[in-house]
Amino acid sequence: MKISEILHRDAVVESLGAVTKREVLFELVEPLSRLHAELDQDRTVNILLEREKLGSTGVGEGIAIPHGKTPGLNEVIVSFGRSVQGVDFDALDGKPVHLFFLLMAPEGCAGSHLKALAKISRMLKDVPFRNRLMEARSAAELYRAIADQDDLC
């Protein structure tokens, strides 16, 4: 699975303004709802918040991978956002989250959903990659860094 094939350039948010978990989710869902008319922003954020109740998707080391399944989608879609200041996302290590990959999948789509989550997790284990994301100066640089790392993993 190639993340660069399911992450549209317009779904990369260079600088999140959010200060709460809910705000982060709204900011990351907004470009996806623009790109995919079948995706209702409010309903999608509620699905993600319900998923967060099962356990935080803030995995630690400044990373969160919020994800969920929703009716009406035909494919797995991803957005990415960066918060330079960091957001309290109830991460497992208690530290602020700076790098967010948000993943939405169609209901009943376990295979590609899990493959995408695994690929993103593998990519983010690389500390130089995470540093490159934090140092990027534009959304285009962020996308390029993600596409480059995607090719390596």
Rounded to the nearest integer, the mean pLDDT of the chain is: 94
Spell out the domains of the chain, with CATH numbers in brackets. 3-152 (3.40.930.10)
Residues with active-site annotation? 67
CA 81 to chain CA centroid, Å, is: 7
pTM of the model: 0.95
Distance between CA atoms of residues 35 and 79, nearest Å: 11
Distance in angstroms (rounded) separating the CA atoms of residues 64 and 83? 11
Please report which confidence band the pLDDT of residue 116 belongs to, taking 50, 70 and 90 as the band edges: very high
Residue type, 26: F
Is residue 110 pLDDT above 80, yes or no? Answer: no
